[in-house]
Amino acid sequence: MALFDHPYGDVIALKHHHATMKMRTDHRHIRPGNTVSGPTLMGLADVAFYAALLGAIGPAPLAVTTNLSINFMRKADAGSAIIADAKLFKLGKRLAVGEVLLRNEDQQELIAHVTTTYAIPPNR
């Protein structure tokens, strides 16, 4: 059961400095070769980290991504949902740093490893 829905997927777990999202893909997310597109995976990772950040600091609509780096490790199968596990490693006054691990729901192997940094507005 989802805690809340988002166009990029459902937040299925929200804990201290951690969020898990689940995205069901469809024809809009698929590129040739029946694989989920890179921009789709990057978007899911970004939203998952944003959920983890807001879970830690509360509403901060002006918190923005300042860096996102992704390493694609294997094909994301279009036939199953994508799971994004986001974790904050460091939460400071102005920056949050962490990672997101992406995998197909029915597999343990990673699709991608993402590192990201968010800027936090001073008056949140």
Residue 16 is assigned to a structural domain of this protein: yes
Please state the domain count of the chain: 1
| Tens place of pLDDT per residue across the chain (124 aa) | 455 555 667 888 999 899 999 998 887 888 888 889 999 999 999 999 999 999 999 998 899 999 999 999 999 988 889 999 999 999 999 999 999 999 999 889 999 999 999 999 987 6
Task: Report the CATH number at residue 19.
Answer: 3.10.129.10
Task: Pick the closest to residue 89 from 101, 81, 77, 71 (CA basis).
Answer: 101
pLDDT at 88: 98
CA–CA dist 114, 72 (Å, integer): 9
The reported pTM is 0.90
The residue range of the domain holding 79 is 4-119
Is there a contact between 56 and 89 (Cβ–Cβ < 8 Å)? no
Give the other-Cβ count within 10 Å of 22's Cβ: 17
* pLDDT at res. 8: 65
23 domain residue, yes or no = yes
pLDDT score recorded for residue 99: 98
124 within a domain of the structure (yes/no):
no
